[in-house]
Amino acid sequence: MATVAEHTVRPRRAAELGLLAVAVLLGAGAYAIIGLNVTGEIPANTRNYSLGLAALALGAHLVLRWRAPYADPVILPVTVALNGIGLAMIFRLDLATRNNDIPDTFASRQLAWTTFGVVLASLVLIALRDHRTLRRFTYTAMVVALGFVVLPLVPGLGRTINGARIWIHLGSQSLQPAEFAKIALAVFFAGYLVTNRETLALAGPRALGLQLPRWRDLGPILAVWVFSLAILVLQRDLGTSLLFFGLFVAMLYLATERISWIVIGLVLFLGGASLAAASFAHVGARFHAWLHAFDQDVFEAAFGGSGQLVRGLFGMASGGLFGTGWGEGRPQLVPYAESDFIIASLGEELGLTGLLAILVLYLVLVQRGLRTAIGVRDGFGKLLAGGLAFTIAWQCFVVVGGVTRLIPLTGLAMPFLAYGGSALLANWVIVALLLRISDSARRPAPTASSPLVLGPEPIATTPADTAADDGEAWADDEALADDGDLEPDDQPTQIVRPGGERP
């Protein structure tokens, strides 16, 4: 009689530790090379910087060993590598401004925000034992997201910077609440869509080869469309508007697999953007600067012009294929080179080759997030992981597309690279959630050799059961079928006898 060998899932924390060592060396090496090329000597604090970066990476690694031993072993190293590259480039821009007698400490602030981000991600991993717990806060997350978005409009609290009212002032610090709103919206969308996916996917007439939704099912997407336009008009924030609406449409497609939702979403967004560009001067100016970037009057315009965009394009062009070398270019000539245009700064000094290598790191990060979405067994986790991975991918596309003049500039920050505490904290929370979900996805199902099973892990009593539930099931686990009223630790103990029999 033929036998089937058991597939053993290894935690691979040792592999993660090795990749983390490479990531830390990459960030520390870049820091040292920049100092050597700009000042002629390795920075005196290189050792302390390297040890600090290594301590943060090791701390996060130990938290994973403790709380999520089966988490994806690639997500954390890739994140640390991107964060380290961003820190090095911000340090390089600091040196350039100091040479011009304009002292600045963007790098030290970003290092502090990185520390806070890693600590916050670790706290999320420790506190959130099961990602499915978030489903019970579906509508609470919606209220929180709306509150975050509205905060900059509160008189005395919100601040207008460069024409966009997307900041709030707390003491000596400025925060961008929309960065945290995107996480809350992803939780809300995942909870809402996993409950209503059958209606959204199957009901409705067919026309022109598309399965169209019913009119009453269009309510949520129309509401998010109006919400996105309100952000675009009231806060003058094209980037956040594009991010929120794109996130919802993408998660609709993940839930229903209907192309019609993508078509409807594109039509609504293009129509809304065209209407806003024709009706509101600040939106129209953004599109005009994009379409006529090289016109002399547009380039020299004091506000709403294309000077920043064109200088960034010239910088990347001077970098060529292999770049001018770290510390050998002039990226500081581009306004906000450490934040909005850090991609242009990296493109100038690392060239097309280096920029593509960085984009490949993002591609790997998104791929591991989508792989987590495929592997996890509950529908809520699938949508949440897919939505969070799409958020990173969409943000990268919008930022790089704006800098390269593929689409209008939006003001979004490149995840982990660009200067900004709000974005860095929010993106580290996204990484923590992906790690938590990946731990559930990769954790081996119980077998006959492990008769006593505790906790929220899905149960597979026989090889046939395991094959039937290979990560493609959409129904939520039985423990949360009643909208999450049952705590993960309160679930009844599942006992499986040898041979796959239940008592």
pLDDT at 194: 87
Mean pLDDT, the chain, whole residue set: 80
- Whether residue 95 is predicted with pLDDT greater than 50 in this model: the reply is yes
Q: Parallel, antiparallel, or unpaired: how do β-strands 210-211 and 452-453 relate?
A: unpaired
**pLDDT class for 34, splitting at 50, 70, 90?**
very high
Determine, yes or no, domain membership for 384. no
Contact of 298 with 309, CB cutoff 8 Å: no
**pLDDT class for 403, splitting at 50, 70, 90?**
very high
**pLDDT class for 502, splitting at 50, 70, 90?**
very low
Could you give the angle at the alpha carbon of 185 between the alpha carbons of 151 and 359, nearest 5°? 105
Cβ count near 301 (within 10 Å): 15
Contact of 380 with 190, CB cutoff 8 Å: yes
More confident residue, 264 or 91: 91
**pLDDT class for 464, splitting at 50, 70, 90?**
very low
Helix ranges, 300-341 (H): 307-319
Kindly list the distances between the CA atom of residue 339 and the CA atoms of 89, 356, 460, in Å, as whole numbers in the listed order.
10, 19, 48
Cβ count near 387 (within 10 Å): 28
**How does pLDDT run across 38-76, given as a tens digit for each residue?**
888 999 899 999 999 999 999 999 999 999 999 999 999
| Domain count within the chain | 1
Q: In the chain, what percentage of residues exceed pLDDT 70?
A: 76
pLDDT at 343: 95
Q: Mapping DSSP to helix (H, G, I), strand (E, B) and coil, where does residue 164 land?
A: strand
Quick one: average pLDDT of 166-172? 73
Determine, yes or no, domain membership for 486. yes
- 320: its two tokens: 């060529």
Determine, yes or no, domain membership for 22. no
- 178: its two tokens: 């929309």
Determine, yes or no, domain membership for 456. yes
Quick one: average pLDDT of 477-495? 38
Determine, yes or no, domain membership for 483. yes
**How does pLDDT run across 280-294, given as a tens digit for each residue?**
677 777 888 888 889
Determine, yes or no, domain membership for 457. yes
DSSP string, 56-88: HHHHHHHHHHHH-TTS-TTHHHHHHHHHHHHHH
Give the structural domain span for 458. 452-495
pLDDT at 491: 40
Determine, yes or no, domain membership for 459. yes
DSSP string, 391-439: HHHHHHHHHHHHHTTSS----PPPTTTSS-HHHHHHHHHHHHHHHHHHH
Q: Parallel, antiparallel, or unpaired: how do β-strands 158-161 and 173-175 relate?
A: unpaired
Q: Which residue has the tokens 């336009």?
A: 229
CA atoms in the 13 A half-sphere facing the CB of 146: 11
Q: Which residue has the tokens 């929220």?
A: 456
Quote the crossing angle between the two packed helices 138-150 and 178-202, to the nearest 10°. 140
Q: What are the φ and ψ backbone dihedral angles of 70, each rounded to 5 degrees?
A: -100, 10
**pLDDT class for 167, splitting at 50, 70, 90?**
confident
Determine, yes or no, domain membership for 480. yes
**How does pLDDT run across 369-383, given as a tens digit for each residue?**
999 999 998 999 999
Burial of 424 per CB tally in 10 Å (0-12, 13-18, 19+) = buried
Contact of 351 with 319, CB cutoff 8 Å: yes
pLDDT at 288: 85
- Whether residue 487 is predicted with pLDDT greater than 80 in this model: the reply is no
| Cα–Cα distance measured from residue 496 to residue 453, given in angstroms and rounded to the nearest whole number | 8
More confident residue, 130 or 224: 130
Least confident of 264-273, 427-436, 441-450: 441-450
pLDDT at 206: 63
Q: Of 82, 68, 75, nearest to 440 (Cα)? A: 68
Cβ count near 484 (within 10 Å): 20
| pTM, two decimal places | 0.85
Q: What are the φ and ψ backbone dihedral angles of 179, each rounded to 5 degrees?
A: -65, -35
Least confident of 208-222, 238-252, 388-402, 459-473: 459-473
- Whether residue 235 is predicted with pLDDT greater than 70 in this model: the reply is no
| Cα–Cα distance measured from residue 424 to residue 61, given in angstroms and rounded to the nearest whole number | 19
**pLDDT class for 241, splitting at 50, 70, 90?**
confident
Quote the crossing angle between the two packed helices 178-202 and 379-403, to the nearest 10°. 120
| Amino acid, single-letter form, for residue 330 | R
